[in-house]
A = this chain, B = another copy of it.
Amino acid sequence: MDFTIWQKNTLKFIILGLLKHNELTGYDIKKLFNCEIGDFWQAKHSQIYPELKKLEEEKLISSHIEISGKKLEKTFYNITATGLTTLNNWLTEPQDKIPPTRDDFTLKLYFIDDKNNPRIEELFAEERLQHEEKLNYLTTRMTELFSSTEKQKAHYGHYLILKKAIIREKAQLNWLNDELNNINK
Known: A114-B156, A171-B171. A95 touches B105 (CB 8 A): yes
A153-175 interface code vs B (CB 8 A; 1 in, 0 out): 10111101101100110011011
- A92 interfacial contact with B, CB 8 Å: yes
- A contact residues, range: 35 or more
Question: How far, in Å, is A142 (CB) from chain B's closest CB?
Answer: 15
A66-92 interface code vs B (CB 8 A; 1 in, 0 out): 000000000000000000000100111
Give which listed residue, B102, B131, B161, contacts A99 with CB less than 8 A: B102
Q: Are A109 and B161 in contact, CB atoms less than 8 angstroms apart?
A: yes
- A101 interfacial contact with B, CB 8 Å: yes
- A57 interfacial contact with B, CB 8 Å: no
Could you tell me the distance between the alpha carbons of A102 and B39 in the complex, rounded to whole angstroms? 8
**Residue of A13, A90, A97, A103 with most partner-chain B CB within 10 A:** A103
Q: Which residues from B are CB-within-8-Å of A157? A: 109-113
Give 23 CB contacts A-B under 8 Å.
A13-B107, A13-B111, A14-B107, A17-B111, A20-B111, A37-B110, A38-B100, A40-B110, A42-B100, A91-B119, A98-B130, A102-B102, A106-B160, A106-B164, A110-B158, A111-B157, A113-B155, A114-B156, A115-B156, A160-B179, A163-B175, A167-B171, A171-B171
